[in-house]
A and B are shown apart, each in its own frame.
Chain A
């Protein structure tokens, strides 16, 4: 039992497919004992306010909304639902802080605040990891090993840039843009917060951040970290609420820059929202990445890479390798290997340390995945799902693999944002490139081959901002991330990520 009395479902053995020596319909003869992380460490408060001017305040009209645990569908906490007045107040607080404190602070001192934040995130990492998993549904091993450490690393990395901007932009004076509105998605709530806030603050900007409405809690815990670090009030402001609050920030006349991560359709609305103004904009939008496996690849490594590419974070990843392009000569055995590997994926309680695939973030997202998977079947693709049991409650979806997929199918064109892999085949490198690039997206891609010159040739022809060769879904604060084409513009991470938050003036 977990601390809240919820029964942890022992992972019941899946049924082996025919031809794998596991016996048709036989359970694989091993099970995992539950390994639950303690829920208590997250210390979820019954109610959370907005974070404006360094203070925890209720919405001006007192309104709240409920954030739920997607793995149980149970309410977690009440969160203030910001009004447009609250958003205006947050922008004013950010402006005041930018012109009076943060913008005037010696860059060396700015750096030290960011280092403090990085350190506090490390110190409280377990608390953040549990809260993140509870609020978003992602497996604890991912929030613990990926989201939270990377978030701390981002603050650490950009802290060091704060007083070294002159070296990043030779011959130019890098000046802060001013007040930045940042709107982030629900798939990596704390990590996206770090990607946004760390470079903005390092460059001397102040921010108003709007977390996704289904995952506000780690951002509000981050507000507590800001207070603990004694960050001057108004440097970071966090307003929680619906999408309209985000759009209000985008169009706010006193916002100098907008940074958005989310869907391409909303990205376009935001780009339209700043049309005709002088606001700067960076967009990190959707993707439909091709993971290309050549016949000479190290197949077992490629299997792991393809699995990680699409089932990491329930596939709720903009750069997920959602299209597998496998060379025809090995397609049969490779797909069998994938199916066998799928049998060992454990779907269930996000707080169980053995869980590979946790809960889908929301009912709405689960419905969207369900709808697209139904479309895949209806359009003639062949569905495979491992016969694992799903918890009775919560938003869960079986890891899914489609074969016989045509490039024109919706599951091969639309971003599903779920644990659904579309398998296509190719014969020649040219065909692989043609298919990989045949999408309006261009965020990421993967290439698996043991031939170095082929990797480099593929890398140079793929229209994607990040290419993983013989690996996938790796992230690092020093490594720029962002898309080509309708996957957005601007980069986050690395020196290039700073560029999004400065205006370059002549020396």
Chain B
């Protein structure tokens, strides 16, 4: 809503920011919005304040997309994630502007974050056809059996995105979920949701099938507990859950024995350095949303 001087001769066309569910961009069913401001206080947009029912719709879309995504070959998933990086590269300027506005960064700092977000897709894309070799095993059991362990996707993951790093933080949490073959319902940064919607526009025109990533903007106090309590969500990425909500979210998650990926002990979301590749690119984050399956078969003629 930052307007330019009318003397420039042209009135800008503003964008309505919507949710991203099942490959489409619906408004929240609740009809509610909240005002999102830039870091300097300038009003930017009326973002959708998604509801519990939007969470349900997003989970339904995610579950429908889950089998197809898990069933892709690993190389295909890798190429699709790489394609996201390609498309982001093409819209780099827009992302830089979005991130600079949302996070109050200089153009240079915002550019570094966007570049790293693009590179992070590339890093995780490369894991697609390797993670099973690194995490899987052939097990030398004491008997005439062929025994092996392979990773499989956990299923539907609810991601409560980092609050501070609106794009790089989100990508760093989303890519490991996708590369392992799980699908996501994301609650974006509450105060800085707009770069996530721009990312949704990239995803919508990429080869990522509709429903594999679903993006909700709104209040974490509403969305995180709703996601944690949803029986058809298999795991919660709790990185961006505010400390005050953590216990409530984890209690709800226990109702169906959800896997809960917590922010590591002692790490503050606001202080975490997402530009530090050693800290922010981790195969463990892929493993957090994988299930290990062990298979036995007798050996004999």
**CB 8 Å contact bits of B139-160 with A (1 = contact, 0 = none):** 1111101010100100000000
- Is residue B44 within 8 Å, beta carbon to beta carbon, of the partner chain? no
Interface residues of B in 192-211 (CB under 8 A from A): none
A504 CB, min distance to chain B CBs, angstroms: 6
Known interface pairs A476-B141, A479-B141, A494-B137; A469-B297 also in contact (CB < 8 Å) = yes
A394 CB, min distance to chain B CBs, angstroms: 33
Chain A residues near B272: list those with CB within 8 A. Answer: none
**Contact between A478 and B257, CB atoms less than 8 A apart:** no
| Contact-residue size bin, chain B (C-beta under 8 Å from the other chain) | 20 to 34
- Is residue B292 within 8 Å, beta carbon to beta carbon, of the partner chain? yes
**Contact between A468 and B296, CB atoms less than 8 A apart:** yes
**Contact between B293 and A283, CB atoms less than 8 A apart:** no
Chain A residues near B262: list those with CB within 8 A. Answer: 278
- Is residue B253 within 8 Å, beta carbon to beta carbon, of the partner chain? yes
8 Å CB contact of A486 from B246, B253, B256: B256
Between A275, A459, A468, A474, the greatest number of chain B beta carbons within 10 A of the residue's beta carbon is seen for: A275
Interface residues of A in 445-479 (CB under 8 A from B): 455, 459-460, 464-471, 474, 476, 478-479
Closest to B154 in A: A484
**Contact between A480 and B284, CB atoms less than 8 A apart:** no
Chain A residues near B141: list those with CB within 8 A. Answer: 474, 476, 478-479
**CB 8 Å contact bits of B283-301 with A (1 = contact, 0 = none):** 0100000011111111000
Interface residues of A in 477-507 (CB under 8 A from B): 478-482, 484-489, 491, 494-496, 504, 506
- Is residue A151 within 8 Å, beta carbon to beta carbon, of the partner chain? no
Chain B residues near A481: list those with CB within 8 A. Answer: 294
- Is residue B278 within 8 Å, beta carbon to beta carbon, of the partner chain? yes
Chain B residues near A489: list those with CB within 8 A. Answer: 257, 259
Chain A residues near B256: list those with CB within 8 A. Answer: 440, 485-486
**Contact between B297 and A480, CB atoms less than 8 A apart:** no
- Is residue A308 within 8 Å, beta carbon to beta carbon, of the partner chain? no
Closest to A474 in B: B296
A227 CB, min distance to chain B CBs, angstroms: 28
| Contact-residue size bin, chain A (C-beta under 8 Å from the other chain) | 35 or more
- Is residue B107 within 8 Å, beta carbon to beta carbon, of the partner chain? no
A258 CB, min distance to chain B CBs, angstroms: 13
A460 to B148, CA, bound (A): 13
Chain B residues near A485: list those with CB within 8 A. Answer: 234, 256-257
A467 CB, min distance to chain B CBs, angstroms: 5
8 Å CB contact of B295 from A440, A469, A506: A469
- Is residue A276 within 8 Å, beta carbon to beta carbon, of the partner chain? yes
**Contact between A480 and B295, CB atoms less than 8 A apart:** no
Chain B residues near A474: list those with CB within 8 A. Answer: 141, 143, 145, 296
Closest to A491 in B: B292
- Is residue B251 within 8 Å, beta carbon to beta carbon, of the partner chain? yes
**Contact between B254 and A496, CB atoms less than 8 A apart:** no
A272 to B255, CA, bound (A): 8
Interface residues of B in 251-287 (CB under 8 A from A): 251, 253-257, 259, 262, 265, 278-279, 284
B181 CB, min distance to chain A CBs, angstroms: 12
8 Å CB contact of A455 from B234, B251, B297: B297
B235 CB, min distance to chain A CBs, angstroms: 9
A sample of 28 inter-chain contacts (CB < 8 A) reads A153-B142, A264-B257, A271-B254, A272-B251, A275-B247, A275-B251, A275-B253, A283-B257, A464-B293, A466-B295, A467-B293, A467-B295, A467-B296, A470-B297, A474-B296, A476-B143, A476-B145, A478-B140, A478-B141, A485-B234, A485-B256, A488-B257, A489-B257, A491-B292, A494-B137, A496-B292, A504-B284, A506-B278
Given contacts A465-B291, A467-B293, A474-B143, 4 further A-B contacts (CB under 8 A): A469-B296, A474-B296, A476-B139, A489-B257
Give B residues with C-beta under 8 Å from A.
137, 139-143, 145, 147, 149, 152, 234, 246-247, 250-251, 253-257, 259, 262, 265, 278-279, 284, 291-298
Give A residues with C-beta under 8 Å from B.
153, 264, 267-268, 271-272, 274-276, 278, 283, 285, 440, 455, 459-460, 464-471, 474, 476, 478-482, 484-489, 491, 494-496, 504, 506
